[in-house]
Structure 1
Amino acid sequence: MNARLAPGPAAFALMVLLCAVWGFQQVAIKIAGAGVSPLLQVGLRSAIAAVLVFLWMRLRGQPLAARDGSFRPGLLAGALFALEFICIFVGLGYTSASRMVVFLYTAPCFTVLGLHLFVPGENIGWRHGAGVLLAFLGIAVAFGEGWGATASMPQRWIGDLLGLLAAIFWAATIVAIRATPLARISAAKVLLYQLAVSAVVALPLSWLAGEEGIRGELTPAVLLALLYLGVVVAFASYLAWFWLLTKYLASRLMVFAFLTPLFGVAFGVLLLGEPMSLLFGLAAALVVAGIVLVNAPARRPASR
């Protein structure tokens, strides 16, 4: 495996930008949901982004059919990627968004553990583990007020379980990328595997599940939201994310994912007029503290 570097200021800045993009994704999903059913959204955004990644690779002259041993691991990563989003969208039918986010963002915890066990060079110490737990505590605090919001849902445990499974699939995707030949191929090809498999799985699944598909009017807002999900999120941001994974230690990058739901809340406050409590400020401080703890350089022993 190629050695990975500890991320620096430029990688930190890019990760914060990506988390903001992913945080706004929740607003876009709500807007697109007025005209397109959930599983169809997953399939369409994956299909749009897959076409763009294919064109990107052709323009850059990157080979698609090279014998690099990536086909089977690529299919595995794609299946895990598709299962993650299917669990999220189906699970939201059983539980609240706040509970789903809490369970989904256990993913960095599973990721650093999986990387520690299966990927040489991604070992974590007590400080990194403590930082991940501190950041997760921030997420739990941020969404703690929403825990009673689904008392009328007697089967909310199903949604909670699906949220936890989505987190495990997300973590497993990252571990699969780092522990297999996918770690040695281009970020674009890694992403293409995932998007292509996701589209192939989600589009027919939407029909088999009896979804409405296109519902209501395809307003400009709905179409722009779909383009945001396909072009900005699934193409540009995921391409940047997988490029980062080819350069830097995934365990150090993954903890930044805890910022995503905080950005989601912030966008909800700014764009949807949702209230924000003092707990949110405390939660943000805990998340930032956890990120700093994970990524702070280790002290060198004093020379005698």
Structure 2
Amino acid sequence: MVVLCVIWGFQQVAIKSSVQEMSPVFQVGIRSALAAVLVGIVMVARRENLSLRDGTLRPGLLVGLLFGGEFLAVSLGLNYTTAGHMAVFLYTAPIFTVLGFHWLVREERMNRAQWLGVGVAFAGIAVAFSGSFFAPGGKNLLLGDALGILGGILWAATTLVIRGSRLSETPATKTLFYQLAGAGVMLLLYAWLSGKVAAATWTPRLGVNLVFQTVVVAFASYLYWFWLLRKYLASRLSVFSFLTPIFGITFGVLVLKEPLDPRFVVGALLVLAGITIVNRR
């Protein structure tokens, strides 16, 4: 699980490091489409049910749109904000997830401690945002940060749809296929319409980066995550996932030489503390 957190923390840095050769939208579109093909091959090899008449088509298309929207927000946001900021704001998703469950599922109502955690996390978001007001290019940073939070909201919405539909009972590979295929189609279409495809500069370094993002991040790490969920308690695994933003910030500083604003650091710690409180149950 720690290894997965390292991989997920590095993915924003991997995208940002190749932004001169290829736009983030085009990068994520390529990796999602190719990873969807790899997942499809796994499904065929396992002789899993490939039928679209099992009640999963509509929710599958919806999670594909939501997953695609999440990474469209992330990809656009990385044009304006740092990889470290994106790692933190994207991982506000657990806060929005528990809020959604609170309002939609009676058995998932939050207790006082969890409400406290939500309050701490939103205070952290406000503090982290405040740092962007005083930083050079503050308007761009604020836009990128806001897109990161939008990505977190769409991630939470994806979780809610999966939990409340037939996808909760279908093999994880099929759900992942819907997500990756939806993101691939949406982002590649956006990249083509916005002229990002023609503007790409293919280099060996970019090729290695795309292989890493496709095979390691979007394919292997997601499948291994689902495998872990079947072997261990999700509540215990989720605690480790809070390491991801920390790795994201660290790699951003070490690899991309991103600056660390004290307000952002304090805000990030508050966000992580709030998420930890919310998930203590």
Please give the secondary structure, in 2, of the residue aligned with 1:124: coil
The structure whose residues are more often helix, as a share, is: 2
Moved more, 30-39 or 168-177: 30-39
CA distance 1:291–1:91, shift in 2 (3 Å): closer
Quick check: 1:25 aligned with 2:11?
Answer: yes
The one-letter code sitting in structure 2 at the alignment partner of 1:113 is L
Contact persistence 2:118–2:274 (CA under 8 A): yes
**What's the Cα RMSD here?**
3.5
CA distance 1:184–1:260, shift in 2 (3 Å): same
Task: Spell out the pairing of 1:54-203 with structure 2 (5 A cutoff).
Answer: 54-65=40-51, 67-94=53-80, 100=86, 103-119=89-105, 121-134=107-120, 145-151=131-137, 153=139, 158-203=143-188
Residues 213-270 of structure 1: CA deviation (Å, up to 9, x unaligned): 4633412x32221112111111122223445667888788667654322211112334
CA distance 1:205–1:282, shift in 2 (3 Å): closer
Cα deviation, residue 149, structure 1: 2.5
Residues 161-196 of structure 1: CA deviation (Å, up to 9, x unaligned): 433332221111111111111101011100000111
Moved more, 245-254 or 180-189: 245-254
CA distance 1:185–1:244, shift in 2 (3 Å): farther
Task: Spell out the pairing of 1:203-282 with structure 2 (5 A cutoff).
Answer: 203-213=188-198, 215-219=200-204, 221-242=205-226, 258-274=242-258
Match of 1:7 in 2: none
Q: TM-score under structure 1 normalisation? A: 0.76
Q: CA separation in 2, counterparts of 1:245 and 1:115?
A: 20
Match of 1:6 in 2: none
CA distance 1:178–1:244, shift in 2 (3 Å): farther
Q: Which one has the largest radius of gyration?
A: 1
Q: CA separation in 1, counterparts of 2:258 and 2:105?
A: 42
Contact persistence 2:102–2:108 (CA under 8 A): yes
Cα deviation, residue 20, structure 1: 2.0
Contact persistence 1:104–1:164 (CA under 8 A): yes
The one-letter code sitting in structure 1 at the alignment partner of 2:150 is L
The one-letter code sitting in structure 2 at the alignment partner of 1:259 is L
Identity of aligned residues (%): 51
The one-letter code sitting in structure 2 at the alignment partner of 1:201 is M
CA distance 1:117–1:17, shift in 2 (3 Å): farther
Length, aligned pairs only:
281
Cα deviation, residue 127, structure 1: 2.0
CA distance 1:288–1:109, shift in 2 (3 Å): closer
Match of 1:41 in 2: 27
Contact persistence 2:131–2:264 (CA under 8 A): no
Moved more, 82-91 or 59-68: 59-68
Moved more, 269-278 or 43-52: 269-278
CA distance 1:84–1:275, shift in 2 (3 Å): closer
Q: TM-score under structure 2 normalisation? A: 0.81
Q: Unpaired runs of 5+ in structure 2? A: none
Q: CA separation in 1, counterparts of 2:194 and 2:146?
A: 20
Residues 138-167 of structure 1: CA deviation (Å, up to 9, x unaligned): 6766786454225464x7665454333322
Contact persistence 1:46–1:195 (CA under 8 A): yes
Match of 1:302 in 2: none
